[in-house]
Amino acid sequence: MWAYVGRRLLLAIPTLLGASIIVFAMVHLAPGDPIAAVMPAESSQAEIEATKRAYGFDKPLPVQYLVWLGRVAQGDLGKSIATRRAVILDVRDALANSLVLALSSSLLSFVLGIALGLLAAFRQGRLLDKAASAIAVIGVSVPHYWAGIILIIVFSVQLNWLPAMGAADDPGLLPYLRHIALPTVALALIPLGIITRVVRSAALDVLSQEFVLALRAKGLVSRRVFAHVVKNAAPQILTVLGLQFGFQLGGSVLVEAVFSWPGTGYLLNLAIFQRDIPVLQGVILVLATFFVLLNLAVDLLQTLVDPRIARH
Amino acid sequence: MRRVVIVLLATVLMLPATALAQGTLRIGMTASDIPYTGGQTDNGFEGFRFVGYQIYEPLIAWDLTRGDRLAPLVPGLAESWEARKDAPTKWVFKLRKGVTFHDGSPFNADAVVFSYESIKKKDAPHFDSYGSGQVSFRLASLTGITKIDDHTVEIETNKPTSFVPYQVCYMVIVSPTQWNKVKDWRKFAEQPSGTGPFRVTRFVPRERLELEANKNYWDAKRRPKIDKLVLLPMPEPTTRLAALRSGQVDWIEVPPPDSIPQLKGAGFQITMNSYPHNWTHTLRLDKEPWNNKLVRKAANYAIDRVGICKSLLNDTCIPATGIVYKGHPWFGKPKETYDYNPAKAKELLKQAGFDASKHPAKAVHLISTSGSGQMLPLAMNELIQKNLKDVGIDVDLQPVEWNTLLTRWRAGFKTPDNEGLNAWNISWNFLEPWSGFGRFFHSKSVVPVAVNTMPYINPEADKLIEEAERTFDVGKQNETLAKLHEIIVDDAPWIFVVHDQNPRALSAKVKGFVQPQSWFADLTSVTVR
């Protein structure tokens, strides 16, 4: 078990390095001169060169990468071109907001999705199954930014119940919940659909296996059969949950833009249009790291649930 | 599932409606970030409107109290000013006494010199390279400043020019005492100090700026009636609309035009007024295809301006066939009328030697996603792209964030970044002759001195601009500028599109706002009940 953990941790290092190289290269290959953006128009060539040196843009790319990586390792993601604040501060605030949103929407979609999926599997072919499948199809097919706009129109504009945008401006839990409610629902739609479907098919898979027949034959009550099925379907479900949680964090750009939720997605969107390269790098890198660590955690959790995986 | 929904809805229903302090005005801006609060602000004139001219003040200010005339200049932090008879390049400004900054320190000649140096003196410790980049092109004629006594300064210009007040009005005065406390412009921007009617109380980058009324404001008549002002960046028009309709803000800039009838029906106020604004594509004149006057004219005849204003923008603008609108003293009698005439456009394009198959006209235009005076840039540009395509001009649109567009524009077309571009879509003001003509159309205004980015080089235009600049009689100056306008319209260095009517939507609670014929706004008369 520990050897497996060690191996997985080692494997995470090249993955992270790979991600950092891609992030670095992507941003430098994109059009837009980062220096032009920070210099006043009447700057002399000497001033431009000095700024280039200060940012390290005068060195060859591999050297720039290593310097950048060294700083990143110390938690220095550079300074934002637009706000001239340390990127780490912007990313930290945004990540906290995104994490909360990802957690709340994951909670909503996981609970609902697993419940619906299991119910559908155990009631295969019945009305409940059809209803659950319909919800699943709607969840994966409705664009969540569109759903977000509809939610705003209904709950903010028409009914005037919930705020349409932004994070809470007043302290306290209640204003916070009021602000996060709509983005949570919008962001939960897609994972709700996916999880319902995956859970349903995973449970059906297990249900069709002979050991379930054996369990029933030996007279086990359906509640106990249910427990066996859930346990056997759990590794597959866990993988999906882990991935979905990651997607919630990295894939909330549109929802955050629609609701002006001040998270990483919102920041990413802004940084792209502002050509704010340090912010862009910082956000993507932090998200990528988070994704890698999350996958690692899910894999480890899986081996706890099903020790056979570690042996492979 | 149903029970869950019911429980959720019930919980929501029990939540109290947001309680608000008396007299708080919350504004949804088009900017995607808080405009720079360190003095010489960014984000174009929306930055001046809500940040620059609210926290700070210039020596010469705009009178924004009336909506029935073009906003004139009035004394601000200076009580009077005039060019010296014996030395016409030297302007003496008598400063207002008894004014204090938000930090309590006195406003005086030192503060004016300090602010000027923060823009113009590169080796000064308090040089603000960012703020300077925002405003220095607006102060192109100013070359030096001298303190005469505590309440008098003398500003020097590079030549005798009547444009001095039109440049000085864009330089706001910051508190040297506060700057010396922090000695860093970024920190100063987080705890700024000016003399304006509002002072900053809370600054959350990218999210909100909170200000409170300056109870010690020197002009008792203009002490704010509201207690608190909250500025929220909302670049998405639909977000602004939803925020207004859900009661999260009381005032939005540029509501989506198709929502205006509904908003009126729901009891919101829509204010509009004409003001010196033009929405254009400013063309690059040293490269194909826009280096050819025939192609530029073709583009101007290809645009369906009436369609844009009527169908797309619901009468929130008027068609533009020049820099200024018909009826403005500078309009004159241009030869070209630029009505919608695709057949003529195709003919002109053919004369210019362009041909859809053998030699197509292609261009790359940098546009913004939102921004001050930019109206609805994405929808409008898609229509313009189609109009141009219909006559055989292929335009590739590249959208960037508004302030990024401004930064790139100020650097000119010749940076590695901008080399591939053929135009920028930026809306301009013509509040005064320098902004309307001088900074764009004089051969000496090429980047980096000012912002003749095209560049537009025409000796005849140079002569007329210089003549206007020498003329202190407004009537005569207007005649000269009308002649200049006729020449520029005929040269078509821009694609003229529309003049905005500056629509904004206010909740019924907002009272006392006068929409001036200006880019700026006086928030001191506003109440929120």
pLDDT at B16: 40
* pTM, to two decimals: 0.83
pLDDT at A34: 59
* Chain B residues within 8 A of A82 when measuring between CB atoms: 33, 403
Helix/strand/coil for B107: coil
pLDDT at B222: 93
Contact B239 A33 (CB under 8 A): no
**What is the 3-class SS of chain A, one letter each residue?**
CHHHHHHHHHHHHHHHHHHHHHHHHHHHHCCCCHHHHHCCCCCCHHHHHHHHHHHCCCCCHHHHHHHHHHHHHCCCCCECCCCCCEHHHHHHHHHHHHHHHHHHHHHHHHHHHHHHHHHHHHCCCCHHHHHHHHHHHHHHHCCHHHHHHHHHHHHHHHCCCCCCCCCCCCCCHHHHHHHHHHHHHHHHHHHHHHHHHHHHHHHHHHHCCHHHHHHHHCCCCHHHHHHHHHHHHHHHHHHHHHHHHHHHHHCCHHHHHHHCCCCHHHHHHHHHHHCCHHHHHHHHHHHHHHHHHHHHHHHHHHHHHCCHHHHC
B 356-385: CB under 8 A from A: 369
* Residue of chain A whose alpha carbon sits nearest to that of B207: A262
Q: Which long-range contacts (CB under 8 A, 24 or more apart) does B511-516 make?
A: B512/B225, B513/B271, B514/B64, B514/B65, B514/B66, B514/B67, B515/B67, B515/B271, B515/B272, B515/B273, B516/B62, B516/B64, B516/B65, B516/B66, B516/B67, B516/B71, B516/B273, B516/B275
Contact status of B399 with chain A (Cβ, < 8 Å): yes
End-to-end CA distance of chain A: 11
* Chain A residues within 8 A of B186 when measuring between CB atoms: 84-85
User: Which one has a higher pLDDT value, B81 or A57?
Assistant: B81
Whether residue A272 is predicted with pLDDT greater than 90 in this model: the reply is: no
Whether residue B17 is predicted with pLDDT greater than 90 in this model: the reply is: no
Instruction: Provide the β-strand partners of residue B528.
Output: B510
pLDDT at B54: 97
Which whole-number Å values give the CA distances from A50 to A39, A54, A55, A65, A276, in the listed order?
11, 6, 9, 19, 20
* Chain B residues within 8 A of A85 when measuring between CB atoms: 186, 205
* Residue of chain B whose alpha carbon sits nearest to that of A159: B246
State the pLDDT confidence band at B272, using cuts at 50, 70 and 90.
very high
Q: What pLDDT, in 10s, does the model give residues B299-315? A: 999 999 999 999 999 99
Whether residue A268 is predicted with pLDDT greater than 70 in this model: the reply is: yes
pLDDT at B346: 95
pLDDT at A233: 83
CB atoms within 10 A of CB B159: 12
Contact A41 B32 (CB under 8 A): no
* Chain A residues within 8 A of B246 when measuring between CB atoms: 152, 156-157, 160, 162-164
**Which amino acid belongs to residue B503?**
P
Contact status of B88 with chain A (Cβ, < 8 Å): no
Classify residue A120 by burial, with Cβ atoms within 10 Å: 0-12, 13-18, 19+.
Answer: buried
pLDDT at B52: 96
Q: How many Å lie between the alpha carbon of B480 and the closest alpha carbon of chain A?
A: 30
Whether residue B327 is predicted with pLDDT greater than 60 in this model: the reply is: yes
Structure ipTM = 0.74
Whether residue B423 is predicted with pLDDT greater than 60 in this model: the reply is: yes
pLDDT at A37: 56
**Which amino acid belongs to residue B261?**
P
Lowest mean pLDDT among A96-110, A245-259, B33-47, B253-267: A245-259
Euclidean distance between CA atoms A256 and B506, whole angstroms: 26
Mean per-residue pLDDT, B137-165: 94
Most confident of A28-37, A200-209, B35-44, B110-119: B110-119
Euclidean distance between CA atoms B452 and A156, whole angstroms: 46
Q: Which of B153, B178, B139 is nearest to B40 (CA)?
A: B139
pLDDT at B12: 44
Contact B239 A258 (CB under 8 A): yes
pLDDT at B525: 94
Mean per-residue pLDDT, B29-51: 93
Contact A132, A117 (CB under 8 A): yes
* Residue of chain B whose alpha carbon sits nearest to that of A44: B448
Euclidean distance between CA atoms B30 and B36, whole angstroms: 14
* Chain B residues within 8 A of A167 when measuring between CB atoms: 207
Contact B136 A258 (CB under 8 A): no
Option in B1, B32, B246 nearest A157 (CB): B246
Q: What pLDDT, in 10s, does the model give residues B187-230? A: 999 999 999 999 999 998 888 999 999 999 999 999 999 999 99
pLDDT at B330: 95
CA angle A5–A11–A17, rounded 5-degree value? 140
Which whole-number Å values give the CA distances from A216 to A199, A200, A231, in the listed order?
21, 20, 16
User: Which one has a higher pLDDT value, B417 or B480?
Assistant: B480
Classify residue B342 by burial, with Cβ atoms within 10 Å: 0-12, 13-18, 19+.
Answer: middle
Euclidean distance between CA atoms A37 and A269, whole angstroms: 17
State the pLDDT confidence band at A225, using cuts at 50, 70 and 90.
confident
State the pLDDT confidence band at B463, using cuts at 50, 70 and 90.
very high
Mean residue pLDDT across chain B: 92
Helix/strand/coil for B505: strand
* Chain B residues within 8 A of A42 when measuring between CB atoms: 136, 448-449
Whether residue B282 is predicted with pLDDT greater than 60 in this model: the reply is: yes
* Chain B residues within 8 A of A267 when measuring between CB atoms: 206
pLDDT at B350: 94
Whether residue B20 is predicted with pLDDT greater than 50 in this model: the reply is: no
Contact A149 B15 (CB under 8 A): no
Mean per-residue pLDDT, B130-137: 89
Whether residue B59 is predicted with pLDDT greater than 90 in this model: the reply is: yes
Whether residue B170 is predicted with pLDDT greater than 80 in this model: the reply is: yes
Whether residue A241 is predicted with pLDDT greater than 90 in this model: the reply is: no
Q: Which of A296, A164, A41, A46 is nearest to B411 (CA)?
A: A41
Q: What pLDDT, in 10s, does the model give residues A174-209? A: 888 888 999 999 999 989 999 998 888 888 888 888
Q: What pLDDT, in 10s, does the model give residues B61-72? A: 999 999 999 899
**Which amino acid belongs to residue B202?**
R
Contact B342, B302 (CB under 8 A): yes
pLDDT at B19: 38
Euclidean distance between CA atoms A104 and A191, whole angstroms: 12
Euclidean distance between CA atoms B446 and B137, whole angstroms: 10
